[in-house]
Amino acid sequence: MHLIAIGGSDAGISAALRARELNPDVDVTVVVADAYPNFSICGIPYYFSGEVQPWQSLAHRTAADLEATGMRLRLDTFATGIDVTGQRLTVRDAHGAESQLAYDELVVGTGALPSAAGITGLDTLGPDDGVHVLHSMGDTFALDQHLNDRNPESAIIIGAGYVGLEMAEALTVRGLKVTQLQRGPEVLSTLDPELGALVHAELDRHDVEVVTGSRVEAVTRSPAGLTVTGHRNGAPFQHTADLVLAVVGVRPNTELLESAGATLSAGRAVLVDEQMRTGLPHVFAAGDGVVTHHRLLGRTYLPLGTTAHKQGRVAGENALGGDARFAGSLGTQVVKVFDLVAARTGLRDHEAAAAGFSPSSVTAVADDHKAYYPGATPISIRITGNADDGRLLGAQLVGSRSAEVAKRVDTFATALFHNMTVAGISDLDLSYTPPLGSPWDAVQVATQRWDREHTKAQVPA
């Protein structure tokens, strides 16, 4: 049997590893568009901050490590077409030569591509002009060369999502004056604005100029530098810097599967079932190019590295005849911004309402450990529950890096996964010692606050 996995990132490599794990005799080929299989794209900002060195450290596994598992790598090879009936994949190598590879089963993990978000200039200006995206190792090398060769003093980051915030920190640490433009009312739009404002304050504290409510329309180059123009609150604005980094989201990379006849969603992600089947015979797909099963929303598009790993593993198992199923995502995410950590899981109030729930959201502030032990810091926690039955729907957290925010959002994610009520979280047997927590952990302080407010709301006046 010959299994081909397309894509050298999370989904494709996970599928190949799972197949080899289950059957060491299966013939596995991984087609990789560049020369950097299994590199951590999520770790790139920490390379620029200097915390991760050298760049080779970003490899989850080296090419030699992957080949040692028995898989075969076709690097610098681009998949150009799928013959579904003939079960053959057309590929083009670095020299432009095309060939065909026969397969018994195919897993497509082509991921996503950077979005230009309709901003004029992003499709014509590039690294040589000082305009960068950050989506691959090639992008990393281009930005690194720009920073080293041209020694820019200022940068504009378009977008204040996870990567945008991480890069604001990285470039600030490198000594650049950073201006961050955000279209929404507050940075980190995956959080409610009241919690996003805490992240905004942390950026302010480190001299990052944040401009929210700014709709960027164009990037142009002149002798004075790169100018970003747009509108804010109805009035035109412009900012000029030596370097522009655009991190305004991604779009599914689905041209290969679309041409082969796969069905796309409204957002142009490939439709797959929970077994990662595309509907095309012997063709599976996983990762940032496909729809995601969300445990609260159903079918959605939510590109995340953790999801891609899980989906790839499912696809690799099922390509060998297994019956694995992707259990679903909750959109659990966490980001470090200087000395602050922000996280979320599940649904926010407006998302829950749109999905047909009756949400009620309450914010509480609790110390990460007993106040009498030195170093206690507050965690702001926003709980969203279903007013009808008390079911937990989501949680958002912001606290200091030392406050174990990631651990605590994972507690909420676990509760969500098992359909717990908000009140039921008080029954969890969570660990306690004064330097690390309290008899009622911060997550329980927050859920008890929600429960009290919910109970008061049910009592007639």
- The answer to whether the CB of 262 falls within 8 A of the CB of 254 is yes
Q: Rounded to the nearest 5°, which phi and psi values hold at 143?
A: -70, -40
- The answer to whether the CB of 326 falls within 8 A of the CB of 302 is no
Distance CA 274, CA 330 (A): 15
Element (H, E) at 171: helix 162-173
Distance CA 401, CA 368 (A): 11
Gap between the terminal Cα atoms of the chain: 70
CB atoms within 10 A of CB 68: 10
CA triplet 281, 284, 288: central angle to 5 degrees? 145
Q: How far is CA 73 from CA 116, 129, 432, in A?
A: 31, 34, 48
In which region does residue 198 sit, left (phi positive, over 0), alpha (psi from -120 to 50) or beta (all else)?
A: alpha
Amino acid at 193: P
Amino acid at 63: A
- The answer to whether the CB of 19 falls within 8 A of the CB of 64 is no
Element (H, E) at 458: helix 442-458
Amino acid at 41: I
Looking at residue 456, its pLDDT comes to 72
Distance CA 369, CA 371 (A): 6
Which domains are seen in the chain, by residue range? 2-112+250-319 (3.50.50.60), 127-246 (3.50.50.60), 339-458 (3.30.390.30)
- Supply the angle between the helices 405-417 and 442-458 in degrees, to the nearest 10: 50
What is the arrangement of strands in the sheet containing 177-181, beginning at the earlier edge strand?
A: 131-132, 243-246, 154-158, 177-181, 209-211
Looking at residue 202, its pLDDT comes to 98
Burial 420-459 (b: 16+ CB within 10 A, else e): bbbbbbbeeebeeeeeebbeebbbbbbbbbbbebbeeeee
pLDDT values of the chain reduced to their tens digit, one per residue, 461 residues = 999 999 999 999 999 999 999 999 999 999 999 999 999 999 999 999 999 999 999 999 999 999 999 999 999 999 999 999 999 999 999 999 999 999 999 999 999 999 998 999 999 999 999 999 999 999 999 999 999 999 999 999 999 999 999 999 999 999 999 999 999 999 999 999 999 999 999 999 999 999 999 999 999 998 889 999 999 988 999 999 999 999 999 999 999 999 999 999 989 999 999 999 999 999 999 999 999 999 999 999 999 999 999 999 999 999 999 999 999 999 999 999 999 999 999 999 999 999 999 999 999 999 999 999 999 999 999 999 999 999 999 999 999 999 999 999 999 999 999 999 999 999 999 999 999 999 999 999 999 999 999 877 776 65
Q: Rounded to the nearest 5°, which phi and psi values hold at 292?
A: -115, 135
Looking at residue 224, its pLDDT comes to 85
